[in-house]
């Protein structure tokens, strides 16, 4: 092992220890609850627990309970909701850039050039309600922007009942799986010691993935976007990538701040798209080092950003299997997900 590898390994070991300690520090109430829940081997934590109908790591369970008890939504709030590895970083960046475009003057450095999108749009479950904290969020600049991987039914009641808005994005589940698998292997390899790609894939097909089953997660937001289109905007990563201008304009309209013709003529829309692009974000110093969320490395957030990269990892039979599962689980909902597109 080279000295650089040793340092990297040491860093990862330390982060894993921190996570273990955080799990040990959970409140007794939460520990008791967790003991009563069905559990399966986790991908990046010792176990995932079946909590409120979805698979969840233990520290997130405590955070979600706190969030459900204490979060008071404002009508102006915007929540970026996603399945992990389906375009969260990108959508957070776009949302931040769209809603704050009138506050950023040409003479100032854009916050997205010096902060990672996860630092500008905090996750309820990883940043805001961690370690039993109940932060005072009333002084945050409005509109307040938050991120979450929590399924729709488990969002705080005040989000569902207020006029706050939710933008949801999901992605071809095979690419989502590959992105998650590679991200965790790179960022947290110690957590995947005995799990082969095939085993992880089988777990995924059985719905066992943080915040999954994936199909339930999609369906929760999908159904809400149909019944309350002003409340939930439902996006797909592939469509956002293929028709970025159209969809960025759609997001702005949904958020009540459409781009004017003048802004379009002056390159404001184009500028936002460029600023938030994979190529631009990947090259920023701020995104090359340091960690975010649950001690993940920022640099691994920007890998390939390609549609259909799964072909480099899966056999045709794996693709067929997941495709069939998705078809069956989504059948009758009006939502379809072609893994081949």
Q: Is the CB of residue 81 less than 8 Å from the CB of residue 168?
A: yes
Per annotation, catalytic residue among 118, 149, 217, 295: 149
Between 49 and 168, whose beta carbon lies closer to ligand PPS?
168
Stretch that binds ligand PPS, among 48-56, 82-90, 205-213, 248-256 (CB under 6 A): 82-90
Query: If we measure between CA atoms, which residue out of 199, 176, 196, 174 comes closest to residue 185?
Result: 196
Whether 149 is catalytic: yes
Residue in 216, 255, 257, 302 binding ligand PPS, rule: CB under 6 A: 302
Instruction: Quote the tokens at residue 176.
Output: 């989502």
DSSP states along 79-133: EEEE-TTSSHHHHHHHHHHHHTTTT--TTSPPHHHHS-HHHHS-BIIIIISGGG-
Instruction: Quote the tokens at residue 18.
Output: 């921190």
Residue in 159, 276, 318, 325 binding ligand PPS, rule: CB under 6 A: 276
Between 261 and 312, whose beta carbon lies closer to ligand PPS?
312
- Least distance between ligand PPS and beta carbon 87 (Å): 5
Question: How does 138-162 read in b/e, with b if 16+ C-beta sit within 10 Å?
Answer: eeeeebbbbbbbbbbebbbeebeeb
Stretch that binds ligand PPS, among 43-51, 106-114, 200-208, 303-311 (CB under 6 A): 303-311
225 lines the binding site for ligand PPS (CB under 6 A): no
Between 12 and 30, whose beta carbon lies closer to ligand PPS?
12
- Least distance between ligand PPS and beta carbon 339 (Å): 14
Between 280 and 329, whose beta carbon lies closer to ligand PPS?
280
Residue in 42, 58, 87, 151 binding ligand PPS, rule: CB under 6 A: 87
Q: What's the CA gap between 134 and 91, in Å, rounded?
A: 26
126 lines the binding site for ligand PPS (CB under 6 A): no
287 lines the binding site for ligand PPS (CB under 6 A): no
Residue in 45, 82, 95, 247 binding ligand PPS, rule: CB under 6 A: 82
End-to-end CA distance of the chain: 41
Q: What's the CA gap between 266 and 102, in Å, rounded?
A: 13
Q: Is the CB of residue 212 less than 8 Å from the CB of residue 204?
A: yes
Please count the other Cβ atoms lying within 10 Å of the Cβ belonging to residue 112: 25
Between 30 and 203, whose beta carbon lies closer to ligand PPS?
203
Stretch that binds ligand PPS, among 50-58, 150-158, 221-229, 275-283 (CB under 6 A): 275-283
**Binding mask of the shown chain, residues 164 to 183, with x at each position contacting ligand PPS by CB under 6 A:** -----------x---x----
Between 47 and 278, whose beta carbon lies closer to ligand PPS?
278
Q: Count of residues binding ligand PPS (CB under 6 A)?
A: 20
Query: If we measure between CA atoms, which residue out of 81, 101, 313 comes closest to residue 217?
Result: 81
DSSP letter assigned to residue 241: H
Contact residues for ligand PPS, defined by CB under 6 A: 82, 84-90, 175, 179, 276-278, 281, 301-305, 309
Active site residues: 149
């Amino acid at each position: 092992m080279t000295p650089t590898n040793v340092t990297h390994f040491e860093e990862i070991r330390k982060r894993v220890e921190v996570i273990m300690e955080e799990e040990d520090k959970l409140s007794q109430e939460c520990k008791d609850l967790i003991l009563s829940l069905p559990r399966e081997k986790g991908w990046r934590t010792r176990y995932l627990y079946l909590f409120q109908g979805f698979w969840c790591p233990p520290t997130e369970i405590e955070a979600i309970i706190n969030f459900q008890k204490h979060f008071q939504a404002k009508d102006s709030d915007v929540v970026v909701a996603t399945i992990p590895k389906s375009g969260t970083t990108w959508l957070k960046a776009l949302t931040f850039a769209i809603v704050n475009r009138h506050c950023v003057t040409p003479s100032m450095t854009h916050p997205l050039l010096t902060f990672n999108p996860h630092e500008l749009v905090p996750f309820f479950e990883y940043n805001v309600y961690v370690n039993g904290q109940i932060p005072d969020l009333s002084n945050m600049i409005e509109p307040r922007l938050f991120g979450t991987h929590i399924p729709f039914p488990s969002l705080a009641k005040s989000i569902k009942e207020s006029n706050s808005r939710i933008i949801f994005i999901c992605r071809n589940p095979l690419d989502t799986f590959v992105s998650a698998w590679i991200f965790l292997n790179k960022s947290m390899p110690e957590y995947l010691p005995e799990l082969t790609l095939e085993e992880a894939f089988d777990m995924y097909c059985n719905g066992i993935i943080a915040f999954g089953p994936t199909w339930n997660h999609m369906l929760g937001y999908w159904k809400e976007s149909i019944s309350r289109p002003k409340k939930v905007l439902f996006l797909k990563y592939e469509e956002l990538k293929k028709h970025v201008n159209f969809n960025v304009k759609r997001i702005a309209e949904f958020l009540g701040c459409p781009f004017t013709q003048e802004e379009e003529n002056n390159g404001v829309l184009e500028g936002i798209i460029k600023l938030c692009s994979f190529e631009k974000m990947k090259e920023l110093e701020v995104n090359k080092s340091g960690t975010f969320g649950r001690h993940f490395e920022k640099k691994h957030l920007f890998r390939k950003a390609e549609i259909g990269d799964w072909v480099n990892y899966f056999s045709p039979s794996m693709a067929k299997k997941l495709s069939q599962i998705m078809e069956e689980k989504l059948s009758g909902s009006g939502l379809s997900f072609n893994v081949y597109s």
